[in-house]
Structure 1
Amino acid sequence: MTQSLRRVLILLLALFAYAGAARAQLQFAAESALQPRQLGIVINDDDPNSVEVGEYYRKRRAIPRANVVHVRIPGKPRKLSAPRFHELKEEIDARLGPQVQAVLMIWTAPYAVECNSITGAYTSGFDPTLCARTCARSSPSPYFNSKSAQPYTDFKMRISMLLPAGSVELAKAVIDRGVSSGFRMVPATAYYLTTSETARNSRALFFPPNGRFDARKLVTKRMAADVLEGASDIMIYETGMAQVDKLDTLKFRPGALADHLTSFGGDLLGDGQMSSLRWLEAGATASYGTVSEPCSFWQKFPNPTVLLQHYVQGASAIEAYWKSVAWPTQGLFIGEPLAAPYHRR
């Protein structure tokens, strides 16, 4: 048995043990959430929307001014070349102190570095070899399903997220959802859909069972369906579809996470498969999608059980999402990073 296969089997056993515990009303241990003083924000001064949204976010989340980095990226390119990205990363890192554990970039584009996502490249390092064969295995994340509350301190990696700012109104709404998620815990449901698009069901194996977590006022619900319609209590919605219908019929709780397993959800401004931006427009607070063809490796997408586990234990959206993706190089994390509806108050 190879070492990599052994790791996968160990993970499977751990996840199935977790699923069994969920049925038995698992009492979650509290997990600390990322704090505003630990977050750096990056503003593109060549993008007026980035400037406006960045200042709004700094005030709403009380981000220290020392944690704000201003850069210039003219032209709003969807992709950066590797050399330009390395210059940008060096510029950002040089301005951040060791207390900063995570970074929020505030703009819609750029969102890719060649075949890598900009969040994957920033946090895990740009991987040029993957661009020759994007369906290959990518670098594993040491942060995957970890107990770490300080990724930069523990792993020398600053987890990152992109807050799209193409629409100032939408960006501010997403920020407000994240902030309001910390006010009080509300009854909600986590929905997991196994669809007719078989190739996009690779992570259905990890869908949590139907159950209730009374201490979190949360219900988990698995469905065999292509669409969720009319639900008004969504905290998590995970599915596998190239296009997700009926989003206009749904209502999301503040802090909601939603994503769809498909090849190009992270191509935010693409016109092929559904962009992950649609989730934010529908009312979610954070989402995820890949920017280049990943094939259907579950490791390249949020693992539903790991995501749920860390989020309900009190982790922030950025922490829970990053801890749920084993191979994050191609994956773009978007939304409001500090949302934490289950953080102990």
Structure 2
Amino acid sequence: MPPRPLRLFRSAADLLLPACCLGLATLLAPCCCLAGGGPENVLLVVNQNSSESLTVANYYTRLRQIPPQNVLYLDWQGDPAQISGHTFRDKILKPTLETIDRRKLSAQIDYVVYSCDLPMRVNFQDFFPGEKFPKQMRPIASITGATYLWQVVLQEEPTLMGLNTNWYVPDAGVQDLARCAEAANAPTQGFRGRYAWRRGGKREADPSKGPRYFLSCMLGVRHEMGNTVEEIAHCLITATSADASRPRGTFYFARNKDVRSTTRHKCFDAVAAALREDGAMAEVTTGMLPKAAQDVVGLTTGFRKQDVAGAGMRILPGAICDNLTSFGGITDKDLGQTLLTSFIRAGAAGASGTVTEPLAIQAKFPLPTIHLHYFRGCSLAEAFYQSVAGPYQLLVVGDPLCQPWADPPDCDAFNLVDDKLVKGPLEIKPRLSSAAGLCELYVDGRLQGALPRGGKISLDSTKLTDGSHEIRLVAVRNDPIETRGRFTVRVDVRNTAAEPIALSSTPERRVGVDQTLELRVDGDASRYVIQQNSRTIGQAQGTPAVLRIEAAELGQGPVALAAEDPVSGRRSAPIWVWVE
């Protein structure tokens, strides 16, 4: 049975979506991405055997302009909920790390992000056969926590289950591990996967000086109690719309007598005061939820079970909503608690929950300072991981790149325009706004180097294949958070007399999920491979060269396709097709 059509825009509420995402023509057109910690720093992992995983990845790739080589399609056919430690290490983590290395992305990947329909829970008991752990150290981790702590997973170290394994957290002293006691004065800083860390959030450029991490997040979870694909896609669209928007709303800290609240609520007043001092609106309320509040830009609370949808709250685009409860991240069965997916459904850009009984231990949940880091301009993932000292059981879900309070620097180059014809050397001299300290140069999504302010570089186009290439300039703000802004163009390299490669489709822009898509390649090669991002979906041969493929194999939503001559490496410009 073919997958049912995906329907996203069904009511006036959908008008909250960004203008560049409302219509087919505009969603398929180039769209500027303002958020920092950007798409070139993401490796997106997709289950190629799940149409839902493909669909979610299609939306995210388009919304965030993820480079094609930054998408990894895994042949995952295992359990969708829980796997063993060795299975995770050998079938998911190692292929991910090997892909980063093989594609020469090691210098730039900061985020490992999972689409839906990959296992959310990892049981590491097989790493330690016969060993019994205290109940506060159950060897069960989330996929995002295990990925963040990738080095200790590879080494099979029991420190994976420690309460102070995340040294990205500033001043993560023992006073906050059991209960939150002092957190308001935490400094805020950005994250790079190549940085090493010493205790207390001390950053080191030398990777031998401390552990390294990958910010990790799932774009969505489905299962029995999870979100629908429509809800996940809507979350990602609204999160993208929130970037650099500085939403006017209130950060709420809901205090009550439940141990799920008392574990953290001694810090509420101090963090709320720090937010107000920084210019935000923050309120400490009594109860489980700020019922009827119409301006929720952030929420920290603790309770077992509440009707989030019936609370009358309006959660604004970009909000992080965090609830401390035992089973908030278990979506494959009903254990009678409010799940993180309830907040995603209600409009949050990100939420989290533990995937096994964690006990009421502060170190396993975000400190209230998560909202302070977020308001200061960090990405959603940076805010989460800067706040959790022992993240191994915490499943983080949502858009990791969402950055509502970012102030990205501007950059461009006067001689770079779309479809520019390039022969021989191309001199690039970036123009940066005053906030930027340097500019990174990416060609086809791969980091080429960094230029200081006022610097220039001569790009030798003869070292590139003829055809379409993306040039991306990324300005990095000169401050501890290192917020990033980008400028992207696509140029046409022509250093030989070879005929350009052109890809077209029938139907041209829209195709039903139950229809066949015909792809035609015009050029002078005898054979072409057709790729969806980094995945080869088939070959086209003949004159003209044609490939017919069932649209359902691509997933729904906006799909990027390109043709490549496997002999010369020449590529066509990408085309976008909407599968509906």
Q: TM-score, normalised by structure 1?
A: 0.83
- 1:101·1:150 contact (CA, 8 Å) conserved in 2? yes
Which residue of the partner structure matches residue 120 of structure 1? 145
Quick one: distance in 2 between partners of 1:289 and 1:51?
A: 24
Task: Select the structure of larger CA radius of gyration.
Answer: 2
Q: Are 2:238 and 1:235 aligned?
A: no
Q: Which residue does 2:67 correspond to in 1?
A: 64
Q: CA deviation at 1:123?
A: 1.2
1:192 aligns to 2:217 (yes or no): no
Taking the aligned partners of 1:213 and 1:227, their CA distance within structure 2 comes to 19
Counterpart of 1:178 in structure 2 is 239
Q: C-alpha offsets along residues 269-300 of structure 1, whole Å, 9 cap, x if unaligned?
A: 33112221111011111011111111111111
* Residue identity matched to 1:74: Q
Name structure 2 gaps, 5 residues minimum. 1-34, 124-139, 171-186, 197-211, 223-227, 409-580
Counterpart CA distance in 2 for 1:105 and 1:228 is 31
CA distance in 2, matches of 1:101, 1:265: 26
**For residue 287 of structure 1, what is the aligned residue in structure 2?**
351
Paired residue for 2:314? 251
What's the secondary structure of 1:40's corresponding residue? strand
Partner AA of 1:157 in structure 2: Y
In structure 2, C-alpha distance between the alignment counterparts of 1:301 and 1:270, rounded to whole Å: 21
Distance 1:213 1:267 in 2: 31
| Structure 1 residue 268, shift from structure 2 partner | 2.3
| Structure with the largest fraction of strand | 2
More helix by share: 1
Contact 2:110 2:215 in 1 (8 A): yes
Deviates more, 1:198-207 or 1:54-63: 198-207
Alignment of 1:253-268 (within 5 A): 253-268=316-331
Is 1:314 the counterpart of 2:318? The answer is no
Equivalent residue number for residue 344 of structure 1: 407
**Do 1:38 and 1:100's aligned partners in 2 also have CA atoms closer than 8 Å?**
yes
What whole-Å deviation, never above 9, does each CA across 1:13-72 have from its counterpart, x for those lacking one? xxxxxxxxxxxxxxxxxxx93111111111101111011110111011001111111102
1:1-345 to 2 correspondence within 5 Å? 33-87=36-90, 88-96=92-100, 97-98=105-106, 99-114=108-123, 115-125=140-150, 126=153, 129=158, 137-145=162-170, 148-155=189-196, 156-164=212-220, 166=222, 167-182=228-243, 184-209=245-270, 210-211=272-273, 218-248=280-310, 249-272=312-335, 273-305=337-369, 307-345=370-408
Deviates most, 216-225 or 144-153? 144-153
For the aligned residue pairs, the C-alpha RMSD in angstroms reads 2.3
Letter in 2 for 1:245: D
- Percent of aligned pairs with the same residue? 26
Equivalences, count = 309
Q: Secondary structure at the match of 1:207?
A: helix
TM-score, with structure 2 as normaliser: 0.50
Q: Structure 1 residues 246, 169: CA separation in 2 closer, same or farther (over 3 Å shift)?
A: closer
Distance 1:250 1:109 in 2: 31
Aligned mates of 1:89, 1:238 — CA distance in 2: 31
CA deviation digits over 1:174-205, x for unaligned, max 9? 11121111152221101111123135420112
SS at match of 1:94: helix
- Indicate the larger mover: 114-123 or 215-224: 215-224
Following superposition, the deviation at residue 151 of structure 1 comes to 3.4
Q: Distance in 1 between matches of 2:113 and 2:220?
A: 10
| Cα offsets for 1:190-234 (capped at 9, x unmatched) | 111112313542011221445596797631100121332111111
Contact 1:175 1:336 in 2 (8 A): yes
Q: 1:217 & 1:199 partners in 2: Cα distance?
A: 29
After superposition, the Cα gap between the structure-2 partners of 1:187 and 1:179, relative to the gap in structure 1 and judged at 3 Å, is: same
Letter in 1 for 2:355: V
SS of the counterpart of 1:220?
A: strand
SS at match of 1:151: coil
Deviates more, 1:204-213 or 1:88-97: 204-213
Give, as a single letter, the amino acid of the residue that structure 1 aligns with 2:288. D
Residues 244, 407 of structure 2: 8 Å contact kept: no
Secondary structure of residue in 2 paired with 1:176: helix
Q: Which moved more, 1:51-60 or 1:165-174?
A: 165-174
Partners of 2:244 and 2:391 lie apart in 1 by: 31
Whether the aligned pair in 2 keeps the contact of 1:212 and 1:220 (CA below 8 Å) is: no
- Give 3-state SS (helix, strand or coil) of 2:343's partner: helix
How far apart in 2 are the matches of 1:128 and 1:119?
A: 17
Q: Which is bigger in relative contact order (C-alpha 8 A, separation at least 6)?
A: 1
Opposite residue 43 of structure 1, the aligned amino acid is V
Task: Tell me if the contact between 1:208 and 1:220 (Cα under 8 Å) persists in the aligned partners.
Answer: no
